[in-house]
Structure 1
Amino acid sequence: MTTSTHRHDLYTVDQVRALDRRAIETLGIPGFELMRRAAWAGLSSLRRQWPQAKRVAVYCGPGNNGGDGFLLAALAREAGLQVELLALDAELHDDAARARAAYEAAGGVVRCWDGHSPLPDADVHVDALYGTGLGRGPEPAVAVLIESINISGKPILALDVPSGLNADTGYCPGAAIRADLTVSFIAAKRGLYTGQAADQVGGLELDTLGLPDELWRPLLADAELMQVQVLPPRARSAHKGDNGHVLAIGGDHGTAGAIRLCAEASLRAGAGLVSVATQLTNLSALNAARPELMAHAVNGPQALAPLLSRASVLAVGPGLGQAAWGHALWLTALDSEKPLVLDADGLNLLALEPRCFTHPVVLTPHPGEAARLLGVTTQAIAIDRFAAARMLARRYGAVVVLKGAGSLIADMDGRLAVCPWGNPGMASGGMGDLLTGIVAALLAQGLTPWQAACLGVGLHARAGDEAARAGERGLIASDLLLPLRQLLNGQPPQGLGS
């Protein structure tokens, strides 16, 4: 497998096609040679992942992805594997037609999929049906084939992209291959790292097919895949005033837990001081559970004003509610023009009373909140998470974290990062409250909104992965606090593996 310095750069499908054309037209590498390299890369990954496999079934579509499959099948036969090949009944052109001819000339037999026959008995199924060439749901007969492969109980290798997954957006408009391993070629496609891709891609390898770095130089990547980051060590003379003062605002009646998780996460993420503005009934619980927090009873804007004057960053929304108390505090906090992180009901109120911010703000919506902020359906967000994140950032003048599998971070200039960490165990109450507190603490320590959002999302997701080593089901938000502190300091979490 060959990778490059561009393995953290994410590209659109059109950009990858441009790279492919540049390799052919400018670097003089024939398209059939690229297809041969892709086939070899796919077979190498198959044999590395499943070394005991003797029987391989390959499923080929009408485009260049199908051509990759035909050549992989030919190479597999040469290597002594038993190969059965099923092709869609469609006309092939150019390099794909040449690849099929090469497979048949070497003695390979092609069987066309008739819509209902049983699948070959194989140790591994290889998906080469569509790759990046399908932007809609597969036709019914092909959907039947895809579902048959999925339920076969045998491992599935996808070449370039699991068929049926939109490689631009991470959305599946219909049936899609659920691969155990995907080997992607030339450049990383952005849609393989977010949304429904998490259920379809399996393990992901990138093979740049031995192409030189000069291929990528004229092209600016559409997005970046986040890398591990930590803050530098503090000065030995540091004091609490050097690390900012976060004011967490929220916790209406019955939601003390939300604002406590947010505030405690700010402490664990390194804020020097953390105050809480909440309902009077929450004070006893907060003081007993976490005395390091400075909890204040706030009954309205007048009581909030002195706390705002002392704070450097605000975390607004966890447990805030949308009733008169929450709305009044929300409005006062936003009008203060302090740097802030807005989440939960803070976002729902923003959807009702939109504004474009001119001071540092980070918004952290989940897809439902994002849909309300944009006035669209949740499905519309899922169909193109990249477009949604960028639209939110432009509309509200803020850095935006669009949460979910493969969380996205976008800014007003269109810059976008994708988080490669996190797990389904984090789909539980309180996780968003933690993220709000973490990002606010990083802002308070002097990071820009973009830096705080990227580092905060990464730390949150990585802490979730460490905590999930004991199992994803049953994971709760407070489980992240210990590994969060260790990861923030660049230490391997103790007791959870390195």
Structure 2
Amino acid sequence: MHTIPTQLYSAQQARDIDRMAQELPSITGFQLMTKVAEAGFKAIQDHYPAAKRLTVVCGAGNNAGDGYLIAAIALKAGYSVQLLSLIAEIKLQGDAALAKQAYIEAGGSIFQELQKLDTTTDLVVDALLGTGLDRAVSGVFAQTIAYINTLAVPVLAVDIPSGLNADTGNIMGCAVVADLTITFIVYKQGLLTGLAADYCGTLIFADLEVPDSIVQMALSSVQLIAPPKLAERKASAHKGHFGHVLVVGGDYGYAGAVHLAAAAALNSGAGLVSVATRKEHALQTHLFSPELMGHGLEHTSDIATLLKKATVLVLGPGMAQGDWAKKIWPRLITLDLPRVIDADALNLLARTPAYSDNWILTPHPGEAARLLQCSTSDILQNRYAAVRKIQKQYGGVCVLKGAGTLVCAGDKVYVNTTGNPGMASGGMGDVLAGLIGSILAQNYSLLDAAQQGVYLHGLAADKAATSQGQRGLRASQVLQFLTEVVN
């Protein structure tokens, strides 16, 4: 439903754009609300053609007005509609009051007690709370959301699932679990990261024909990661053109992690890949992949020759935080080569903070919490704020992993849309670290390597899940699809 935008906006920016659109001589607020309702009703027809009995749940403000007009259109189209309002009708003002009147004139009636609703409905339309929510949901609104979530019917959320924070993707006490969310004019940044993935369902977009010139008046600092287009290789290319990735890690018991990262670098196009690890694990490297070069690393002097050949370092997969890691880390942290810092290298960095503009940090929320000396729940409260804070404090580029992975460089944040829940298994982060290191070695910038790495990693996992299913998906299976997606 309309071209998906690449720029994302805060709730306040969305309201500003909405206000500016209404200042155009060609459209009023009520006309814009009518466009919302028409798009919402079309979504019902397109996605739930068998649903003829609707329950529309309204709160206050324009989001409620949208619900009233959807209900009015549905009534005129012959649908059976019951509408629940959680506020006194006299409290509706402006366009929302006009929308309520249009619903009444269409023959609609209004329920104000949850208990009186008929549970035999085909679809619920959530028009309870819009993007302006700034505190935890409570009282009758929380009770109604709980009721909606118990119904065994699909839910369409109008603009945003009620209870979801439009800026952060966090849940404000409780939220409607929607099967379909239709959002309007611009994408709100909270719809695409963190817990939003559990509440939005399928996300569709309607621009309401608001001119781009109006939307572009609000400057966005958040955007979607675009599908990458890796450069074609020249016919005369040789391995020296595509870098030498050195992966460091793999303490006792963790050999698989370092080898997964190294294999990911190989499968995604690095010219050469070496592994510096425990001596016993180095002897196994060629068994994991004969193209990999394994080297024992017991003392910092063991890595000196390797560093002269390497163009990119991937530090941390399987490194652990024992005596071996603590012995080699002081040397690794001082290097000026482009580096990907992952896994326990991040935990070591958190213990002895440093700053560099020549590395990519790839924390999951737990590692991010250690970097910022806070709790994981603090990170999840606002992933955008967390990724910006890590980047500012540690430099370089930060990749905050999770549903809707975020990539931050300076003031800009980029949001990833590939990937699936099957990636919630061991080794996936190691594959990502190796993939990003490989792209970095192929003469891409830190930011490009981070963005393209997270997008292609998720895309490979999506292909693997399509082929084999999400449950039980392994990092080694995702490896098999990396060569396909980078090509």
Please indicate the TM-score interval, normalised by the length of the shorter structure. Answer: over 0.9
Give percent identity, aligned residues only: 47
* Partner of residue 492, structure 1: none
After TM superposition, give the deviation of residue 325 of structure 1 in Å: 1.5
* Partner of residue 86, structure 1: 84
* Partner of residue 111, structure 2: 111
* Partner of residue 368, structure 2: 370
Q: Is the 8 A contact 1:84 1:120 kept in 2?
A: no
State which drifts further: 300-309 or 123-132: 300-309
1:438 maps to which of 428, 435, 439: 435
Q: Deviations over 1:252-278 (max 9, x none)?
A: 011000000011101011110111110
1:392 maps to which of 390, 393, 398: 390
* Partner of residue 184, structure 2: 185
* Partner of residue 299, structure 1: 298
1:24 maps to which of 22, 25, 44: 22
After TM superposition, give the deviation of residue 107 of structure 1 in Å: 1.8
Q: Deviations over 1:334-354 (max 9, x none)?
A: 212111000011000111100
* Partner of residue 417, structure 2: 420
After TM superposition, give the deviation of residue 136 of structure 1 in Å: 2.3
1:33 and 2:44 aligned: no
After TM superposition, give the deviation of residue 27 of structure 1 in Å: 5.1
**For 1:372 and 1:340, how far apart are their aligned partners in 2?**
20
State which drifts further: 458-467 or 218-227: 218-227
Secondary structure at the aligned position of 2:177 is classed as coil
State which drifts further: 284-293 or 335-344: 284-293
After TM superposition, give the deviation of residue 283 of structure 1 in Å: 2.2
Letter in 1 for 2:475: A
Q: Is the 8 A contact 2:86 2:140 kept in 1?
A: no
State which drifts further: 244-253 or 204-213: 204-213
**For 1:130 and 1:460, how far apart are their aligned partners in 2?**
35
**For 1:293 and 1:333, how far apart are their aligned partners in 2?**
21
After TM superposition, give the deviation of residue 28 of structure 1 in Å: 4.9
**For 1:150 and 1:19, how far apart are their aligned partners in 2?**
31
Q: 1:259 to 1:191 in 2, by over 3 A?
A: same
Secondary structure at the aligned position of 1:10 is classed as strand
Q: Is the 8 A contact 2:276 2:282 kept in 1?
A: no
Q: Is the 8 A contact 2:365 2:401 kept in 1?
A: yes
Normalising by structure 1, we get a TM-score of 0.95
Q: Is the 8 A contact 1:304 1:329 kept in 2?
A: no
Q: Is the 8 A contact 2:180 2:201 kept in 1?
A: yes
1:309 and 2:297 aligned: no
* Partner of residue 95, structure 1: 95
After TM superposition, give the deviation of residue 99 of structure 1 in Å: 1.0
**For 1:27 and 1:258, how far apart are their aligned partners in 2?**
61
Letter in 1 for 2:442: Q
Mapping of 1:66-465 within 5 angstroms? Answer: 66-90=64-88, 91-114=91-114, 116-358=115-357, 360-411=358-409, 413-465=410-462
Unmatched segments (≥5 aa) in structure 1 = 490-498
Normalising by structure 2, we get a TM-score of 0.97
Secondary structure at the aligned position of 1:446 is classed as coil
After TM superposition, give the deviation of residue 212 of structure 1 in Å: 1.6
After TM superposition, give the deviation of residue 8 of structure 1 in Å: 1.2
**For 1:141 and 1:67, how far apart are their aligned partners in 2?**
19
Letter in 1 for 2:429: G
* Partner of residue 475, structure 2: 477
State which drifts further: 22-31 or 201-210: 22-31
**For 1:105 and 1:265, how far apart are their aligned partners in 2?**
63
Q: Deviations over 1:307-351 (max 9, x none)?
A: 111100000000111122212322212212111000011000111
**For 1:207 and 1:482, how far apart are their aligned partners in 2?**
37
**For 2:57 and 2:455, how far apart are their aligned partners in 1?**
37
Q: Deviations over 1:37-84 (max 9, x none)?
A: 101100000111011111111000111100000011001001111100
Q: Is the 8 A contact 2:249 2:317 kept in 1?
A: yes
State which drifts further: 315-324 or 361-370: 315-324
State which drifts further: 136-145 or 308-317: 136-145
After TM superposition, give the deviation of residue 94 of structure 1 in Å: 1.2
Q: 1:294 to 1:3 in 2, by over 3 A?
A: closer
2:54 maps to which of 45, 53, 56: 56
After TM superposition, give the deviation of residue 117 of structure 1 in Å: 4.7
RMSD value, Cα? 1.3
Q: Is the 8 A contact 2:189 2:222 kept in 1?
A: yes
**For 1:392 and 1:455, how far apart are their aligned partners in 2?**
20
Secondary structure at the aligned position of 1:458 is classed as helix
After TM superposition, give the deviation of residue 118 of structure 1 in Å: 4.9
Q: 1:137 to 1:117 in 2, by over 3 A?
A: farther
Unmatched segments (≥5 aa) in structure 2 = none
